[in-house]
Amino acid sequence: MNNRPGAPEKPAVPETSGSRVSWSEGSRFPLHRPELLPHLERGEAVLTQAMAPNAKTFKPGETIVAEGEPHRYLYWLRTGWVARVRRMPDQRTQIITVFLPGDFFGVKTIFLLRQPDALEALSSVSTELLDYRDVLDLVRNDPDISMRLWWQICEDQHRLHRRVTGLGRGNAEERIAAMLLDFRVRVDRAGLVSKTFRLPMTQQHIANYLGLTVVHVNRVLKRLRDAEAITFSKGRMTIQDLPAIQKIAYPIQDALDRSAAELDEVGT
């Protein structure tokens, strides 16, 4: 999402099919209750407008929020990818979650004196930010902003539920396939190109994200390439055989992921 949305007076209500919400409209808020969409969109528009004067960019690898340190700002990710990272005393590293354009991150700053994990730029990143005290002032006067931040927390939690399942029960192929589908859908949601997308993660990043070693990541990616399911070159990932990747990821996916896959089938 490269352009900030304006505050629509009468936002479109997404199409519904039974209880399922179409991804074609309001897809940035998947499976939302239709009556909440105007509030979510308005909350985002007002908050991002307040953040707009405070732009800040980061280089790949740069720390945005340091682990264990006090921090005052909440961010909106305009472009680039950001990772929440935990580094262990024996130098093991876990990427806990990845934020893509359109996400708010550092929301916990509102509540916490110190940050439990680091936030680091995976690529060149442009953000807009606001002091948590200004965010609190806005939230007190505008429930739509509160609702949008609440949505972000729910979305982050949903992503973590997925990852707990994948890391706890998924094998390496399932984890990698599910990761590719997740990023593909989210990149698409952010209004960027979907079949081929920029994946600004090294194999070491992917290993740290999925609890694998670099050798293992390389091995699985090679197998998927050999099967002509994907191509991955110079930071660009193409899912050539979407049904094959969906089939691999299926066991560890949730109902929402599977809905997205079914809609893909309808759309192709």
User: Which positions lie near another protein, rule CB under 8 A?
Assistant: 88-92, 170-175, 207, 211-216, 219-220, 223
Q: Tell me how far CA of residue 65 lies from CA of 115, 156, 159, 210, in angstroms.
A: 8, 17, 21, 22
Closer to another protein by Cβ: residue 144 or 174 = 174
Q: How far apart are CA 210 and CA 235, in angstroms?
A: 18
For 57, the enclosing helix (H) or strand (E) is: strand 55-58
Closer to another protein by Cβ: residue 46 or 172 = 172
Closer to another protein by Cβ: residue 36 or 172 = 172
CB of 205 to another protein, least distance (A): 14
Closer to another protein by Cβ: residue 20 or 219 = 219
CB of 229 to another protein, least distance (A): 13
Closer to another protein by Cβ: residue 71 or 219 = 219
Closer to another protein by Cβ: residue 79 or 94 = 94
Helix, strand and coil in the chain, % to nearest 5: 45, 20, 35
- Lookup: tokens for 18: 């039974």
CB of 255 to another protein, least distance (A): 24
Cβ neighbours for 191, distance < 8 A, ≥ 6 positions apart = 1, 2, 102
Q: How far apart are CA 48 and CA 58, in angstroms?
A: 18
CB of 83 to another protein, least distance (A): 17
Closer to another protein by Cβ: residue 130 or 248 = 248
CB of 172 to another protein, least distance (A): 5
Q: Could you give the dihedral angle defined by the CA atoms of residues 32, 38, 40 and 43, in that order, rounded to the nearest 10 degrees?
A: 180
Q: How far apart are CA 82 and CA 109, in angstroms?
A: 16
Instruction: Provide the CB-side half-sphere exposure for 169 (13 A, CA).
Output: 9
- Lookup: tokens for 15: 């199409």
Tracing tokens 């808020």 back to the chain, one arrives at 29
CB of 55 to another protein, least distance (A): 37
CB of 211 to another protein, least distance (A): 5
